[in-house]
Amino acid sequence: MRCIAFLLTFILGVSAQDTLVTNSGHVYLGKVMGLSKTSVKFLVTDGVGAQQVQLERVSRITNSGGEIMYDSNSGLTQTSFKQEAELSYEQTQDIEFAKTISSQTHYNSYLTKDGTLIKIGDSLIVGSPATTDKQYSKYVGTLEVFSTIRIGGVGMSLLAGSNYFPASGRGSVFTIEKIYVSHTKLSKKSPLSIFLTVREPDLPTMVNKRTIGDLEHAILLGEIISPNAPMTRVEAIAKLKESKDLLELEIITQTEYDELKVKLTPIIRGE
């Protein structure tokens, strides 16, 4: 790891980076790739790769926006827990970070654009194939299929001519086996896309492998749904309206409705 002599002078053209300060006063610029209660995984700019550093050796960690992620006097902050994933959506879109990562690099966890933490072993639910809009819907002959889900691994899909997952598979449950990245273009100077290898556990091992290409796009189209995804504003409004109807039908009590309203109001207001 290379020691940076000064923090107060910023070089024009250098993108914002996370900062790690050790107890001995050494300062390092780079990216936090993982942060637990005992250690931090830190990728140093122009360094030799990510280093695992025990927090007992660290004085302070701040992110690129200047927010404190860790302070030896107060411990981890709420902000730091957003970095528990080994890889985040923001990192995949950071070209400087992407240039340090090779396609097919594997990770144990990923923080999506909507703030959902997914990990190897987690379950995902298959939604509906894209939309009814022909711009997005995909067909093989007259059979409607999922545009972001393929049967088998990537290599098998290519050999088989892109064997897309059929629309009849909506509602299926997948278990995440692998999380890996691929550059969106041939050059490393391009963002990263997230790919997943998943299994359909109800089927025999020989035939239950699936590949999800571009996870963020799959989530955006509604083809993949995470049970852990945060509730959206639209979903919160619908839930509150439904609860109001249930209250009027005397199926739930006023107390139950009030408790739910308190829980959903911040989501609806965007707080």
Interval 112-137: pLDDT, tens = 988 888 988 999 999 988 755 454 45
Q: Which residue has the higher pLDDT, 113 or 230?
A: 113
Is the Cβ–Cβ distance between 37 and 54 less than 8 Å?
Answer: no
Answer whether 72's CB lies under 8 Å from 58's CB.
yes
pLDDT exceeds 90 at position 199: yes
pLDDT tops 50 at residue 168: yes
Average pLDDT over residues 174-192: 93
Higher local confidence (pLDDT), 144 or 75? 144
Mean pLDDT of the chain: 81
Which pLDDT does position 44 carry in this prediction?
78
Within 10 A of 162 (CB to CB), how many other CB atoms are there? Answer: 13
Q: Write the DSSP string, 23-91.
A: TTS-EEEEEEEEE-SSEEEEEETTSSSEEEEEGGGEEEEE-TTS-EEEETTTEE-TGGGGG-SSEEHHH
Overall average pLDDT of the 159-174 stretch: 81
Domains located in the chain, CATH noted = 1-83 (2.30.30.100), 98-225 (no CATH), 233-269 (no CATH)
In the chain, % of residues over pLDDT 90: 38
| Contacts of residue 190, Cβ cutoff 8 Å, sequence gap at least 6 | 95, 98, 183, 184
**What does the alpha-carbon distance between residue 59 and residue 7 come to, in Å, rounded to a whole number?**
15
How many angstroms separate the first and last alpha carbons of the chain?
40
Residue 133, sorted as left (phi over 0), alpha (psi -120 to 50) or beta, turns out to be: beta
pLDDT tier for residue 142 given thresholds of 50, 70 and 90: low
pLDDT at 247 over 70: yes
pLDDT at 48: 53
Predicted pLDDT of residue 231: 78
Eight-class DSSP state of 142: T
Burial of 66: CB neighbours in 10 Å, binned 0-12, 13-18, 19+:
exposed
Q: Which amino acid is located at 95 in the chain?
A: I
Amino acid identity of residue 179, one-letter, is I
The pLDDT of residue 9: 34
| Whether the predicted pLDDT of 240 surpasses 80 | yes
pLDDT band at 202 (very low <50, low <70, confident <90, very high): confident
Nearest to 108, CA basis, from 41, 42, 31, 176: 176
- pLDDT tens figures, 44-99: 776 555 677 888 889 999 887 777 888 888 776 644 444 446 899 999 999 999 99
Q: What pLDDT score was predicted for residue 126?
A: 95
**For residue 43, with 0-12 CB atoms within 10 Å meaning exposed, 13-18 middle and 19 or more buried, which class applies?**
buried
With 70 as the cut, is the pLDDT of residue 148 above it?
Answer: yes
For residues 52 and 153, the model is more confident at 153
The residue with greater pLDDT, 227 or 76, is: 227
Give 271's pLDDT tier (boundaries 50, 70, 90). Answer: low
How long, in residues, is the chain?
271
Beta strands 164-166 and 173-183: pairing type? Answer: unpaired
**Among the listed residues 71, 248, 105, the one whose alpha carbon sits nearest the alpha carbon of residue 179:** 105
Res 144: pLDDT? 83
Q: Which two tokens stand for residue 130?
A: 């894209």
